[in-house]
Structure 1
Amino acid sequence: MPAPIPHSSPQLEVPPPILDTSPQPEVVAIKQLNHDGLQGFQEFIVDVLMLSLLHHSNLVTLIGYCTDGDQRLLVYEYMSMGSLEDHLFDLDPGKDPLSWSTRIKIAVGAARGLEYLHNKANPPVIYRDLKSANILLDNDYNPKLSDFGLAKLGPVGDHTHVSTRVMGTYGYCAPEYAMSGKLTLKSDIYSFGVVLLELITGRRAINTPKKPGEQNLVTWSRSFLKDRRKFVQLVDPLLQGRFPLRCLHHAIVITAMCIQE
């Protein structure tokens, strides 16, 4: 008797997966510039040139730009957490303040961005508008410097400064630059010191609603910076004492060096 022939299972043909090769949409930030006056156009040109030539992990990336008639647009990478200013001042009830470690992380990243502009770019670049509103943050609170419309190429060769019309933001502007119009790399260092002071204290550089003597952050802080026993009194009360004392002292000493007149 012949052996039975085994039945074979039917084979199903599985179609290959369809790959979507179409480009995925990218979230970007679009900045529309004021089209009134020559100054706005010059800042647009400087912003495009600077960010086309400068590339660093702590500088915002310029994806593209558009100019059509009097319309001028800048297209940047999207920084999902907004600016440092949004997380330091006038917090909504229930919103957690920045932790000490996050504040230091932001300070270090901003410093690295400045270091690149001053020491790695050739010729060096003076940022000229360092402030908490221009430090943008990604999902992990990594900071990137943005808005290079006021940036200037720094001094080269035997020159110690560049002479220019005083620009920048009141409260962050180095006093020697404000008085003389002589712009140096140190002008950015002063502004960085003011941002450090904002990170430590949770106070704005300029806050006019406060009583006289407390409206200018640098002026208000001077007496505290001269006495190590008063360092703790500078700290943002929202931190509720959650910071390492040694690290605070280092940060305040660096801040004091940056904002020396």
Structure 2
Amino acid sequence: MNLPPLRLVFLLLLFFLDQPCPICVVGTDTPDPLVSSMAVLVSSPDVSPSSPIYATMAAFSPGSLLLSPSLLPVLFNFVLGIEEGSQRHEMDSHKKMLIALIVACSTLCAIFLSLLSMWIYQRKCSYKPHKKNAQSSDAEKGLALAPFLGKFNSIRMVGKKGSASLVDYKTLEKATNNFMDDNILGEGGFGCVYKARLDDNLLVAVKKLDCASQDAVREFENEVDLLSKMLHPNIISLLGCSTHGNTGFIVYELMQNGSLETQLHGPSHGSALTWHMRMKVALDSARGLEYLHEHCKPPVIHRDLKSSNILLDANFNAKLSDFGLAVADGAQKNSIKLSGTLGYVAPEYLLDGKLTDKSDVYAFGVVLLELLLGRRPVEKLAPAQCQSIVTWAMPQLIDRTKLPNIVDPVIKNKLDLKHLYQVAAVAVLCVQPEPSYRPLITDVVHSLVPLVPVELGGTLRTTQPALSIDPALPPPCH
């Protein structure tokens, strides 16, 4: 029963004064439930005559004593106090509940706002570099190259050794006249090399690589990473790199005389390369390989040495280029996919996949034969038949009577026969089928140094004119 406290006290008062309840409906015999319950309470056996409750009730009972009129105001004030206290207690409870609710809501709001602020801050931090790299993927200084394109993920960029400078794509586009065909210097497996003139009037070479495939991406990253760590006069200098969409760009120093392949097998057919100049090219190339094998830590195997990857500057200084397939000697070489150029690939690598520094020595031997004989590494004999320079030349290289007859006609009558035999012996050793029979590249360098004039980087002092070769005369005895 949910009666207000004031009504409850009022009914009790009327009960003890034996007065009719004004709240009860007149003319009905239905007893008030409250009165009935009170009667039960009075008649309850739990209320003994000696109990305090019984004494109090007896004092107010009409059968024993009438209520004094002077007690009415006191009783009335007592009733009002109970009502006001009840209301005040109820209001205090509501206030406390409201305050607790407000505090809880405020705390939850504060936590939510804190989490939201943290999320926005982290989002900004992660988005800012990405946006900056996307907008300035061609910036020139001070930015890491790796983040601005997901697929190019292993390139570093700082302006010092061990790094590659990032060149603005728009600069390359302007320098190559929008990569016009007239500026093409050469063509490779994944793209072309263009001649470019930068704003400071510096002439450079720009290799443009189509990086749509993972192999091309890997070669691009590998070459930039390796060349950025190398510094040697016989290794091509890396000036910078860039990317644009699915295309990678590598900027090198310009080599004015192009590749050795172009010089030997192009329109001039080697006319610009004298015997001494050819020996200089061979020595420079060997020194470049020696740097890779003996001085790089870990050693590097070029894996694609050939005449088209030996470039010549204005003074015919030779430099090794195209390091896309190069591998560090500590890598898992057995798991590397077979790559290279037909005619230069060592037989053990071609047949068994065994890759060592002696594989580069074999390729160098083939280049040395090109310099001596003026022939390509592989020549067609018929539409479906080819012959390698090694197979064709080997029987004649070891026969001194036949060797002068197969020398490149451009230099045939302008060389020292003794030097010819020495170079032929080095070439024969380099192209041996068994890798263990091939010399180290350091030994090759030592063999070639005495054959190159001092002014060209060797130790040979040319005080006498070179002997001419007359095929009709027998070779001199030594």
Structure 1 residue 60 corresponds to structure 2 residue 246 = no
In the TM superposition, what is the alpha-carbon distance from 1:211 to its structure 2 partner?
Answer: 9.2
Q: Which residue of 2 aligns with 1:119?
A: 294
CA contact (8 A) 1:176 1:182 kept: yes
| Distance in structure 2 (CA, Å) of the matches to 1:242 and 1:213 | 34
In the TM superposition, what is the alpha-carbon distance from 1:213 to its structure 2 partner?
Answer: 8.4
Q: Write the letter of the residue equivalent to 2:300.
A: V
CA contact (8 A) 2:305 2:364 kept: yes
CA contact (8 A) 1:155 1:184 kept: no
Which structure has more RCO (C-alpha within 8 Å, separation ≥ 6)? 1
Q: Which residue of 1 aligns with 2:361?
A: 189
| Distance in structure 2 (CA, Å) of the matches to 1:115 and 1:24 | 35
| Distance in structure 2 (CA, Å) of the matches to 1:102 and 1:213 | 33
Q: Which residue of 1 aligns with 2:273?
A: 98
Sort the Cα spacing of 1:56 and 1:222 in 2 relative to 1 into closer, same or farther, 3 A.
same
| Distance in structure 1 (CA, Å) of the matches to 2:384 and 2:417 | 30
The equivalent position to 2:429 in structure 1, one of 248, 257, 261, is 257
| Distance in structure 1 (CA, Å) of the matches to 2:432 and 2:384 | 22
Sort the Cα spacing of 1:250 and 1:130 in 2 relative to 1 into closer, same or farther, 3 A.
same
Say which SS state the counterpart of residue 380 (structure 2) adopts: coil
Q: Which residue of 1 aligns with 2:255?
A: 79
The equivalent position to 1:164 in structure 2, one of 336, 348, 351, is 336
Q: Write the letter of the residue equivalent to 1:181.
A: G
| Distance in structure 2 (CA, Å) of the matches to 1:26 and 1:122 | 32
Q: Which residue of 2 aligns with 1:130?
A: 305
Q: Which residue of 2 aligns with 1:25?
A: 201
| Distance in structure 2 (CA, Å) of the matches to 1:30 and 1:239 | 33
Structure 1 residue 230 corresponds to structure 2 residue 230 = no
Q: How does 1:138-217 map to 2 (within 5 A)?
A: 138-155=313-330, 162-208=334-380, 215-217=387-389
Q: Write the letter of the residue equivalent to 1:142.
A: N
Q: Write the letter of the residue equivalent to 1:66.
A: S
Q: Which residue of 1 aligns with 2:470?
A: none
Q: Which runs of 5+ in 1 are unaligned?
A: 1-22
Q: Write the letter of the residue equivalent to 2:239.
A: I
Sort the Cα spacing of 1:209 and 1:43 in 2 relative to 1 into closer, same or farther, 3 A.
same
In the TM superposition, what is the alpha-carbon distance from 1:208 to its structure 2 partner?
Answer: 1.6
Q: Write the letter of the residue equivalent to 1:109.
A: D
| Distance in structure 2 (CA, Å) of the matches to 1:136 and 1:117 | 17
Q: Deviations over 1:15-67 (max 9, x none)?
A: xxxxxxxx832110001012231100000000000100111100000100001
In the TM superposition, what is the alpha-carbon distance from 1:233 to its structure 2 partner?
Answer: 2.1
Q: Which residue of 2 aligns with 1:34?
A: 210
CA contact (8 A) 1:100 1:239 kept: yes
TM-score, scaled to structure 1: 0.85
CA contact (8 A) 2:404 2:412 kept: no
In the TM superposition, what is the alpha-carbon distance from 1:246 to its structure 2 partner?
Answer: 1.0
CA contact (8 A) 1:132 1:195 kept: yes
In the TM superposition, what is the alpha-carbon distance from 1:227 to its structure 2 partner?
Answer: 1.7
| Distance in structure 2 (CA, Å) of the matches to 1:97 and 1:78 | 19
Q: Which residue of 2 aligns with 1:244?
A: 416
Q: Write the letter of the residue equivalent to 1:89.
A: H
Q: Which residue of 1 aligns with 2:467?
A: none
The equivalent position to 2:222 in structure 1, one of 37, 46, 49, is 46
Say which SS state the counterpart of residue 206 (structure 2) adopts: strand
CA contact (8 A) 1:30 1:75 kept: yes
| Distance in structure 1 (CA, Å) of the matches to 2:377 and 2:351 | 19
CA contact (8 A) 2:212 2:247 kept: no
Q: Which residue of 1 aligns with 2:132?
A: none
| Distance in structure 2 (CA, Å) of the matches to 1:92 and 1:98 | 10
Say which SS state the counterpart of residue 187 (structure 1) adopts: helix
State the percentage of identical aligned residues.
44
Sort the Cα spacing of 1:76 and 1:193 in 2 relative to 1 into closer, same or farther, 3 A.
same
Following TM superposition, the consecutive aligned residue runs of length 4 or more in structure 1 with deviations greater than 4 angstroms are: 209-214
